[in-house]
Amino acid sequence: MHAFPKSSVTVDLIVFTITDNSLKVLLIKRGIEPFKNMWALPGGFVLEDESLEDAAKRELVEETGVKDIYLEQLYTFGEPGRDPRGRVITVAYFALINSQIQKIRASTDVSEAQWYSVNKIPKLAFDHKKILDYGLQRLRWKLEYTTVGFQLLPKTFTLSQLQNIYEIILHKQLDKRNFRKKLLSLDIVEESGEFTEGVSHRPAMLYKFKKRIGEIIEIL
């Protein structure tokens, strides 16, 4: 058996959240070469005895401090020449975190980390623009056909908040009555019994997702 070429393998993360009525993605400013001082998706090398998913989870904790959130493998990018350091293959993951936990901490090799609205993305390092576009496409797709949307909300939420997430990500208006009718017919949410407080208008019922965290099901 000949010696086969070896490559470095990285994971890159597309971390989405929603704040200020806008879909945001987490970017880091690179602290080292190549592409030093340029914005990029968070990520890093896969270690010796670590599965790809574990590497993604580790990077996620390092960048955001959060764990136990929704994470799914997206696609693997491996064009020769995509990284000036040599042959580097990257496995992209996408993650959704809810709007409550968003503390960001800059880690080693990172001079800054920031949430960027998806329609105001700066020029990105490597082929990260392509990766991000792919992730956005997947997010829109899954939002329509699965229950991933719930991953962007805290444990209890109002139906208006949920509808809002759909409207932001799909950027189109939805009919309130039809949205609620459809959702309730799926039998995947239940009333929590609590209401929103401290709002200067009629309080809304808080609902909760019937499935466990991280679980998503098809068709919505």
The set of catalytic residues is 112
Separation between Cα atoms, residue 136 and residue 206, nearest integer Å? 28
Grouping H, G, I as helix, E, B as strand and the rest as coil, residue 31 is coil
What would the x/- binding string for a copy of itself be over residues 159 to 198, using CB under 8 A? ----------------------------------------
Stretch that binds DNA, among 31-39, 78-86, 138-146, 174-182 (CB under 7 A): 174-182
Provide the b/e sequence for 38-67 (b: ≥16 CB within 10 Å): bbbbbbbebeeeeeeeebbbbbbebbbebe
Q: Where do the H-state alpha helices sit in 66-207?
A: 128-145, 159-169, 176-185
- Options 120, 123, 172, 177; binder of DNA; rule CB under 7 A: 177
Based on CB atoms, which residue is closest to DNA, 32 or 205? 205
Output the furthest CA–CA distance in the chain (Å, rounded). Answer: 73
Q: Nearest to residue 9, comparing CAs of 89, 74, 94, 126?
A: 89
Answer whether 103's CB lies under 8 Å from 158's CB: no
- Options 6, 120, 172, 202; binder of DNA; rule CB under 7 A: 202
188 binds DNA (CB under 7 A): no
Q: Which partner in a copy of itself, DNA, none is near 175 (CB below 5 to 8 A by kind)? A: DNA
Separation between Cα atoms, residue 6 and residue 140, nearest integer Å? 35
Closest approach of DNA to the CB of residue 164, in Å? 8
What would the x/- binding string for a copy of itself be over residues 36 to 65, using CB under 8 A? ---------xxxxxxxx-------------
Closest approach of DNA to the CB of residue 20, in Å? 14
Instruction: Check the CA dihedral 58-62-66-69 and report its sign.
Output: negative
Start-to-end CA distance of the chain, whole Å, equals 51
Closest approach of a copy of itself to the CB of residue 175, in Å? 22
Based on CB atoms, which residue is closest to a copy of itself, 32 or 217? 32
The footprint of DNA (CB under 7 A) covers 158-160, 175-178, 180-182, 195, 199-205
